[in-house]
Amino acid sequence: VNIVSAEFVTSACDNTGLPKPAEPQVVFMGRSNVGKSSLINALACRRIARTSRVPGKTRLINVYKLRLAKTRKGLSLIHLLDLPGYGFSRGNRNQATSFAKLTDSYFGQFTVNTKLQPHSVEQHYEANVMLLIDSRHLGLASDLDALDWLHSQGCRTVVIGTKVDTLSSAQRNRADKALEESFGTSGLFVSAKTGKGMNELWKTIIAMNTPQP
């Protein structure tokens, strides 16, 4: 994928400023410090998202816009959305409530059928979600709960194991089986540091945002 330009668009506390359901987009969701910002920077091939060693720093939905040299499937623009991390124990109840409101605000757009024109056939859009999990800690209850919730919302979800560069070859082989056993699905393993798995991740993002015949 050839990135023509990449930019930060906005930090949103509700639907204001977010891309519409019909626009190409993918949202990154996961525990605090799982590597969402680093992965977005790797996809953009430049530093557009701030990273932090302190978990729980992101409190808003950060929106980024990437313009692409048109792909074979015709995609020339994609929005990447970075949700606040969940599962940070030091966060207080207000932070948890804020996270719930943000997720309800974003995903709520996709639960209502959208009419493109008066008297037209109603069209329903599914949210495209990358559920990021730490490859070193598969099967955490908070990650399993997140996947169950996303399924209940009808989201199109792919599980992504991050920081795969930290695993040995033997650990990597075990991780494939552990992910499938824990989440009931196969997933992708990536490294924002080494670039491993990034081509496959881009193929998945493009496929998610390509209309099916």
CB 39 within 8 A of CB 162: yes
CATH architecture of 3-208: 3-Layer(aba) Sandwich (3.40)
The band of 55, judged by pLDDT with boundaries at 50, 70 and 90, is low
Q: Are strands 128-134 and 77-82 parallel, antiparallel or unpaired?
A: unpaired
Q: What is the pLDDT of residue 116?
A: 47
The stretch 119-146 carries a mean pLDDT of 85
Q: What is the pLDDT of residues 64-74, one digit of tens each?
A: 999 999 777 78
Q: Provide the residue ranges of all domains of the chain, joining segments of one domain with +.
A: 3-208
The stretch 162-191 carries a mean pLDDT of 93
Q: What is the pLDDT of residue 114?
A: 42
Q: What is the pLDDT of residues 78-117, one digit of tens each?
A: 999 999 888 654 456 666 777 788 888 889 888 644 444 4
The band of 7, judged by pLDDT with boundaries at 50, 70 and 90, is very high
Mean of per-residue pLDDT scores for the chain: 86
Helices vs strands, H then E, count in the chain: 5, 7
Whether the predicted pLDDT of 133 surpasses 90 = yes
- 186: which residues sit within 8 A by CB, 6+ positions away? 176, 179, 180
Q: What is the pLDDT of residue 109?
A: 85
Give the C-alpha separation, 16 to 92, whole Å.
Answer: 25
Q: Percent of the chain, pLDDT > 90?
A: 61
User: Which residues pair with residue 61 across a beta bridge?
Assistant: 12
Q: What is the pLDDT of residues 33-54, one digit of tens each?
A: 899 999 999 999 999 998 766 5
Q: What is the pLDDT of residue 108?
A: 86
